[in-house]
Amino acid sequence: MSAGNDTKFHPAVFILTGIPGLEDVHVWISIPFFLTYVISILGNSGILFIIKTDPSLHEPMYIFLSMLAVTDLGISLSTIPTTLGIYWFHSREISHDACFAQLFFIHSLTLTQSSLLLCMAFDRFVAICNPLKYASILTPPRIAKMGLVSILRGVTLILPLPILLKQHRYCKDSILSHSFCLHQEVMTMACSDFRVNIIYGFFLTFSSRLLDLLLILLSYVMIFKSVFSIACNVKHLKALNTCVSHVCVVLLFYTPHIALAVLYGFVKNFSPIFQIVLGNIYMLVPPLMNPIVYSVKIQAIRVRIIRVFVK
């Protein structure tokens, strides 16, 4: 009897969701998803190739950009199997262990991205506010350490999440709202008390992403203060132009993340379609747009891309 009850509260899988009510046209819906993944992978791979093969781009700003491209690739590859599996093969089931592994990679990579965006803000701060010491401050060994710390921070802070989730019992109808696993939703599927997950989730938000965002904002306050102390308007524009692409990427990253956090944390009744769309924006748009933004705004990369096609 106890074994039967244990099976009842320990289903073997979670059920992922595509777009409810449109199952008959999932194959057609998969086309924009597939194209988004292809463009994201090709775009970020292209950025990595250009930076690696051009010695003139082996500078701090471009090295941080290559690190960001790697995390974008990781996020895309982490969500491809389940998302396209739903739309192409109607494969909605995912085991608990696979779900926990997927959310670990998604959250650790996004947290690493947050750290890298902060590193890139520091790079712009040093380049604009203290240009004479730029090369001595951002040396290759120091850049490597900053990248390593960003990765270790993401892994160590996110590692407790799958461990905590594995301790819970899960109800029979564990239907998730997205085509991939997110901690803030998976924990609500638990039949047992998940207050520890909520507390740790708030700790993660305030001690990592929110802190990173505040430090990025602080760096730009200091950048603007330094820039507007320059008398020449041409120098204003030239200095600020180097920051435009980074600001765009920061907005692309944090806006859907904050919106999703507010949705799960404070909004009780919301449209399932809106939740699904926002989740897909959170996962798909930054890896898609980051290489496009940098290719358009940074002349050195744009010129090399044009040369590839001209040849």
Residue 11 has pLDDT above 70, yes or no: no
Total domain count for the chain? Answer: 1
Residue ranges making up the domain that contains 118: 2-310
pLDDT the model gives residue 4: 44
Q: Which DSSP string do the residues of the chain spell out, in sequence order?
A: -HHHHHHHT--SEEE--S-TT-GGGHHHHHHHHHHHHHHHHHHHHHHHHHHHH-GGG-SHHHHHHHHHHHHHHHHHHHHHHHHHHHHHH---EEEHHHHHHHHHHHHHHHHHHHHHHHHHHHHHHHHHH-GGGHHHHS-HHHHHHHHHHHHHHHHHHHTHHHHHHHTS-B-S--B-SSSS--HHHHGGGBSS--HHHHHHHHHHIIIIIHHHHHHHHHHHHHHHHHHTTSS-HHHHHHHHHHHHHHHHHHHHHHHHHHHHHHHHHH-SS--HHHHHHHHHHHHHHHHHHHHHHHHHH-HHHHHHHHHHHH-
Q: Would you place residue 275 in the very low, low, confident or very high pLDDT band (cuts 50, 70, 90)?
A: confident
Q: For the chain, what is the mean pLDDT? A: 87
Residue 6 has pLDDT above 50, yes or no: no
Residue 216 has pLDDT above 80, yes or no: yes
Residue 154 has pLDDT above 90, yes or no: yes
- pTM value is 0.91
- pLDDT 10s digits, 174-200: 889 899 999 988 998 988 888 999 899
pLDDT the model gives residue 140: 94
- pLDDT 10s digits, 77-114: 999 999 999 999 889 999 999 999 999 999 999 999 99
pLDDT the model gives residue 80: 93
Q: What is the CATH classification number for the domain harbouring 278?
A: 1.20.1070.10
